[in-house]
Amino acid sequence: MTQLPNFLIIGAPKAGSTSLWNELRQHPDIFLTSVKEPNFFCSNSANYQNWSWYTSLFRGSVGKTAIGEASVAYSLVERNPTTPALIAQHLPHVRLIYIVRHPLRRIESAWLHHISKRNPVPRDFSQAVREFHPLIEGTLYSRNLEEYRQYFPDQQILVLFLEDFQADSQQVLEQCDRFLGVDPTARVSRAATPQNVSAQRYIESERLKKLSRLPGAKLVDRATPAWLKRLIQKMGTPLPPRPQWDASTRQWALDQVGSDACSILAYAKKSPNFWNLDR
């Protein structure tokens, strides 16, 4: 019998989706694909409409109550305008989980991510905010969600906040369990581990710096093949320090995303001051 997902984590990028994916799949009644970001319903995906490939991702889901996958590109509807309709066409009863975070913190994290991946993004943060559109695109949470609300009722949509997940991961996971129809008490209580790749890479680069100062490090360096040195250097390339906002760029960014942030907070019945955008 062909297994298809009955829930999707659709985003947002750099808002905790990896940590959420990793934690949800620990529940005995939840199956999430080992491949994160299948991006199957994105028209620019290499596997677009390759149903045999897509269904193969769910082979291990027999007997599970909640079956899902996580692709944050699904929430980037400006880039993937047909995605909500495609999902609705093929998975009309699917449940959608959308995790978001403070808009300015997401922009900062997304910029660091692109820098760490050596993507063509300006290394000057202020310039990147104004000129590299994906930083803004992924932060327009309400606008992106509205595209899904054209096809899915609110009962099939759960909006989460990274700040809540960081403050009390167990409570958020139980909320997800109830939304997905599995027993929250079957989940093993454990602290969520952040899966922020950019942050982990920065920590690793600092660790490598300390190791280079240890006695004997120079001897090890001389004995290390050149190809391995290049690989280590690439993996340990330090990230820039946390971005600093100048007043003009910060206000420009808030002009782009501020009203949208208020809309998503209202939709989720959060306090208008939850993110304290004036700070």
What's the angle, vertex CA 5, arms to CA 8 and CA 152, rounded to 5?
A: 55
| Least confident residue range of 74-78, 200-204, 252-256 | 200-204
pLDDT score at 203: 39
In the predicted model, is pLDDT for residue 138 greater than 70? yes
Residue 4, amino acid: L
The overall average pLDDT reported for the chain is 87
Work out the pLDDT band at 222, boundaries 50, 70, 90. low
Q: Is 68 helix (H, G, I), strand (E, B) or coil?
A: strand
CB-based contacts of 15: which residues, under 8 Å, 6+ apart? 72, 99, 100, 101, 106, 162
In the predicted model, is pLDDT for residue 199 greater than 50? no
Give the tokens for residue 158: 């759960």
Residues 255, 171: Cα–Cα separation, whole Å: 33
pTM of model > 0.85? no
Please state which CATH class domain 7-194+254-267 belongs to: alpha beta
> Rounded to 5 degrees, what are φ and ψ at 151?
-115, -20
The domain segmentation of the chain, as residue ranges, is 7-194+254-267, 197-235
* Interhelix angle 103-116/197-212, nearest 10 degrees: 50
In Å, how far are 18, 142, 201, 238 from 195, measured between CA atoms? 6, 24, 11, 18
